[in-house]
Amino acid sequence: MSENKIHIFDTTLRDGEQVPGCKLNTNEKIEIALKLEELGVDIIEAGFPISSPGDFASVEAVAKIIKNATVCGLTRAVQKDIEVAAEALKHAVRPRIHTGIGSSDIHIKYKFNCSREEILERAAKATKIARNLVDDVEFFCEDAGRADNAFLARLVETVIASGATVVNIPDTTGYCLPHEYGAKIAYLKNNVPNIDKAIISCHCHDDLGLSTANSISGIINGARQIECTINGLGERAGNTSLEEVVMIIQQHKEMGFYTNINSKLLNPISHLVSETMRMPVQANKAIVGANAFSHSSGIHQDGFLKADITYEIINPVEVGAEESKIVLTARSGRSALAHRFHKLGYQYTKADIDVLYDQFLKVADSKKEVMEDDLNELASAYGKKEAVV
Ligand code: KIV
Ligand code: ZN
């Protein structure tokens, strides 16, 4: 396996599904899981089997149907959770148990009310139990973003020695700055003697809008797995958005990384997830938002119409989006107006456009967007150069 492959671990069906109102039934999970597999994700976290009988059934159904991706189930560092997860995953071609425990002093004191030493013991025990049931065990060090790096290194060393194949370093509360999160990963690379026996995973939350930047900083510093969700869905402000990290890796080839994702399927799966999880995507969302490839100001439109690379770094075809749009508003210029008339079949000269532009601005000032019907009305009032189609 290449050292520069970034494994994409999708947790839309687990962390994403934790969003209030986004709960999925088994059929919905199966439908999304099949699309995730087609998209090319390496790991699908299908759910938290012990959390409810319904989620157990969903993880089991996903495990049965998915053939190429690894199917993963979440557990606490508790024997019963781990056994139930193994049962739900028993039909998976590639099962993974994702177990873990809090690693920051805040979690150790307030959630577990125990000592650091006890955390190490519980972590080792849970990892060994999981490793006796499946070959692939990922260990999450919850709240690693706020954990003491020296203790985190001991925890990571312990779980790798106990059989963990992947170590997840979550910035659970979305607190870290990118350089800080990157330094944490570098610290683990440099201070955990057995770190080469496991893959380091980034799992970042977006409370400060830094989850994507933190995940990229993580891989630059040695992590080789990113945990993310479609449309960035997830607890509170959400998780790292899959489409963003994948396109950063694809656009910035100089970093030398690659993923297995077919980027042309990003917009179709974004729509499917948004509809199924009843969660609209904000219009200005990178890659998959309705305005991601829309140009509305005159300066941008003029440049874009001369050469698309002036204002677009991604061709919408690359991410399965509709073609770029020239939206007409009161901030649009003559070249955009001429372009839109031309698309409707009107062949106007520059002099015609000069006259029509004044009429257009009157309409544009009275509404948010000038639509096709408005242009047809302007053309018919102008009474010249009828549509040629
Ligand atoms: O954010 C987090 O720490 C998690 C863990 C359960 C992996 O979601
Ligand atoms: Zn999370």
pLDDT along the chain (389 residues), means of 10: 90 96 96 98 98 98 98 98 98 98 97 97 98 98 98 98 98 98 98 98 98 98 98 97 98 98 98 97 98 96 96 98 97 97 94 96 96 96 66
Quick one: which atom of ligand 1 is closest to the CA of 11?
Answer: 8
Q: Residue ranges of the domains in the chain? A: 7-276, 294-382
Are 287 and 244 in contact by the 8 Å Cβ rule? The answer is yes
What ligand has the least distance to the C-alpha of 139? 1
Are 181 and 205 in contact by the 8 Å Cβ rule? The answer is no
Nearest CA to ligand 1 atom 2: 172
CA 204 to ligand 2 centroid distance, Å = 7
From the CB of 15, is ligand 1 less than 6 Å away?
yes
Q: Say which CATH architecture domain 7-276 belongs to.
A: Alpha-Beta Barrel (3.20)
What ligand has the least distance to the C-alpha of 175? 1
Q: Which two tokens stand for residue 145?
A: 């973003």
Report in angstroms the alpha-carbon separations of 132 from 100, 262, 319: 16, 35, 41
Query: What distance in Å separates the CA atoms of residue 16 and residue 232, rounded to the nearest whole number?
Result: 8
Quick one: which atom of ligand 1 is closest to the CA of 170?
Answer: 3
Total-model pTM: 0.96
From the CB of 203, is ligand 1 less than 6 Å away?
yes
What pLDDT does residue 383 have?
A: 81
pLDDT digits (tens, 9 = 90+) for 348-361: 999 999 999 999 99
From the CB of 171, is ligand 1 less than 6 Å away?
no
Quick one: which atom of ligand 1 is closest to the CA of 144?
Answer: 3
Quick one: which atom of ligand 1 is closest to the CA of 140?
Answer: 7
DSSP state of 283: T
CA 219 to ligand 2 centroid distance, Å = 18
What pLDDT does residue 253 have?
A: 98
- How many residues does this entry show for the chain? 389
Residue 202 bridge partners (DSSP): 169, 226
Nearest CA to ligand 1 atom 8: 15
From the CB of 257, is ligand 1 less than 6 Å away?
no
